[in-house]
Amino acid sequence: MAEPDGVVITGLGLVLPHGVGLRAADAVFAGTSAVRRLPEIRGVPDAAGAAVRDFTPPVGTENADRATQFAVAAADEARLGARLGENGPPPNRIATILSLSKGGVFALARCAAGRINGDFLAAATPDAAARTVAARFGLTGPLGSPMTACASGGHALLWGATLVARGVVDAAIVGAAEASLHPLILGSYRRMGVLAPPGEDPATSVRPFSATRRGFAVGEGAGVLVLESGASAARRGTKPLAVVRGWAAGCHAAGMTDMEEGGPTLARLIGEALRRAGARPDEVDYVHAHGTATAANDLAEAQAIRAALGAASDKISLSSTKASHGHLLGAAAAVELVLTVLAIERRLVPPTANLTDPDPAIRLDCTPLRARPRPIRCAVKIASGFGGQMLALVLAKPGVPAAR
- Are 222 and 335 in contact by the 8 Å Cβ rule? The answer is yes
- Are 240 and 9 in contact by the 8 Å Cβ rule? The answer is yes
Does the annotation mark 290 as catalytic?
yes
Does the annotation mark 111 as catalytic?
no
Q: β-pairing, 372-373 with 348-349?
A: antiparallel
Helix (H) / strand (E) containing 175? strand 171-178
Give me the catalytic one of 150, 155, 288, 378.
150
Q: What is the length of the chain?
A: 404
85: which DSSP letter?
H
CA-to-CA distance for 364 and 360, rounded, in angstroms? 9
* E strand residue ranges, 50-163: 94-99, 143-144
**3-state class (DSSP) for residue 116:** coil
Give me the catalytic one of 290, 325, 366, 378.
290
Amino acid identity, position 311: A
Does the annotation mark 18 as catalytic?
no
CB atoms within 10 A of CB 43: 10
Contacts of 192 (CB under 8 A, 6+ apart): 256, 257
CA-to-CA distance for 84 and 358, rounded, in angstroms? 43
First CA to last CA across the chain, in angstroms? 13
- Are 344 and 374 in contact by the 8 Å Cβ rule? The answer is no
Give me the catalytic one of 182, 327, 366, 378.
327
Active site residues: 150, 290, 327
